[in-house]
Structure 1
Amino acid sequence: MDLGISGKVALVTGGSAGLGLAAAKSLAREGCDVCVSARDPEKLADAVVELQEFGKVVHAVLADVEDPAAARRVVEETRDVLGPVDILVANAGGPRPGRFDEVGLDDWDAAVQRNLLGMVRLMHAVLPEMRSRGWGRIVTITGRSAREVIDGLALSNAMRTAVAGVVRTLAREVGGEGVLVNNVMPGPIETERLRQLAGDEAALRERGAGVPVGRVGRPEEVGDVVAFLASERASYVNGVSLLVDGGEARVIA
């Protein structure tokens, strides 16, 4: 299936590893020129090498979305090098795990800056040009906790839900202008964060055994969903928060 996005410019934050890198690869595979941003210079350099294998133009920006000035700088640098952003994949590492009484107010402040306001600032930075062109795609990557609370992840439960609310609101406001806004909610995917939460390989396998499909997911399985939502083929999908969790969530809607 031709997704119809060859030649589009995609910006992926948190794009040096895990789900962000997987999304960047899927978009590059579909013919997008890709800018990835992240905080770790070594991982960012490695990501560029991997993405260049797809034969598309790749750019990298060292940035931390917790920095209020980062979003506009990343978008402006992407525009200067690749052109205006057609596709934004707003992704950031998850907040600190812990129960409500285990996380302090500083942890809440950091989570709001990285996992909520960081994404909102990115949306503000790309929207004017998307609206003026009459085409754009914004895809946020959150987690299953946006739909169903997960014990021991108080910050994630709050931040992911807030982002899903922003997505649904913005989708209704700009969908008529050709800008579609959607959210992807991964379940257990084999990333560094899941490995940290699981603790060891045995616990990771046990985690996967509890999923209806019998395993944890692969990052590329999330990346391909992101690419679809960013495509012309998803032109009537707007305001959705889509579970990619192997059927683990028990919620109906």
Structure 2
Amino acid sequence: MNLGLSDKSVFVAAASKGLGKASALAFAQEGARVTIASRNEEQLTSAREEILAATGHKVNTLRMDVTDEEEIRRAIKATADSQGGLDVLVTNAGGPPGGNFADMRDEDWQRGFELNLLSVIRMIREAVPYMKSAGGGRIVNLASTSIKQPIAGLILSNVFRAGVQSLAKTLAEDLAKDGILINTIAPGRIATDRITELDSARAANKGTSLESIQAEAVQAIPLGRMGTPEEFARMVTFYGSFANTYVTGQSIMVDGGMLRGL
């Protein structure tokens, strides 16, 4: 299938590692002109070299803190200026700290809002004018299965990731007339550093091993294993492509069948 991504301008946030990096790699493999952004310049450089070695395509790198409005504005503008516009936006950010309702103070809620919801609002706001000028575009939000089913001990993620999908559902109607499609891709248990971090914290709280926590979690997945970043990235690339012409406002679970809800 031709995804129609050759020479398209793509911006991927929080792409120095994990699912963001895997998604950027997948877009580069399709011949897109890709810019990746992150706060960590050392990891950005490493990601750039890894993608170049794997694809032969050079990606641009920009330092950007997703909680900083001005840095988002500069990064989106720099991408559009250097790549002749912006066709695809992939919003992404690291997960907020774990914890329950009683653990969270006002500053935790404010930080979670800025990191996982306001950042998405700002990136979309900056990207949409370029997409309108181009006659269309694609927006893909990376979120979590918590948008469908809350995850114990992750109240900040549960609340603000759900807000991302509500935003996408609303914008799907607003942006349709401009040829802009927007969807949310929700990873279940994908083998990333974030999952290892959360599992390690849970293991410490329960006084057990990381291996036992992960084995228990895998038992709840019908496919019997965690997913890979590459499997997740293939979904991001399709919904962020111009082969996707009729799916918008949707939340797509990439979870091996883990969620049981209809």
Aligned equivalent of 1:234: 244
- The residue aligned with 2:84 is 83
Q: Which residue of structure 1 aligns with residue 139 of structure 2?
A: 138
SS in 2 for 1:61: strand
Q: Which residue type is aligned with residue 112 of structure 2?
A: A
Query: What amino acid is aligned across from residue 175 of structure 1 in structure 2?
Result: A
Cα displacement (A) at 1:240 = 0.6
Task: Report the Cα offset of residue 135 of structure 1.
Answer: 1.5
State the 4+ residue runs in structure 1 displaced beyond 6 angstroms. none
| 1:144-185 superposed Cα distances (whole Å, 9 cap, x missing partner) | 001111111100000000000000111111112111000001
Separation in structure 1 between the aligned mates of residue 104 and residue 32 of structure 2, nearest angstrom: 40
User: Partners in 2 of 1:207 and 1:68 — Cα distance?
Assistant: 37
- How many residues align structurally? 252
Q: Match of 1:240, as an amino acid?
A: Q
Q: Is the 8 A contact 1:205 1:215 kept in 2?
A: no
- For structure 1, which segment, 159-168 or 57-66, has the greater mean C-alpha deviation from structure 2 after superposition? 57-66
3-state SS of 1:234 partner: coil
Give the one of 196, 214, 239 matched to 1:204: 214
SS at match of 2:177: helix
Cα distance in structure 1, aligned partners of 2:109 and 2:21: 26
What does residue range 79-118 of structure 1 map to in structure 2 within 5 Å?
Answer: 79-118=80-119
Deviation at residue 80 of structure 1 after TM alignment: 2.6
Equivalent position of 2:35 in the other structure: 35
Residue 247 of structure 2 aligns with an amino acid whose one-letter code is V
- CA-CA distance at 1:76 after TM superposition: 1.1
* Native 8 Å contact 1:59 1:81 kept in 2: no
Q: Deviation at 1:203?
A: 2.3
Contact 2:87 2:134 in 1 (8 A): no
Q: Percent identity?
A: 38
CA contact (8 A) 2:80 2:130 kept: no
CA RMSD of aligned residues (A): 1.0
Matches within 5 A, 1:132-211: 132-199=133-200, 200-211=210-221
Q: Secondary structure at the match of 2:61?
A: strand
Q: Is the 8 A contact 2:48 2:58 kept in 1?
A: no
Give CA deviations for 1:101-139 in whole Å, capped at 9, x if unaligned. 112211111111111011110000010121122120000
The SS at the match of 1:150 is coil
Query: Aligned partners of 2:45, 2:16: CA distance in 1, in Å?
Result: 8
Unaligned segments of structure 2, at least 5 residues? 201-209
Unaligned stretches of 5+ residues in structure 1: none
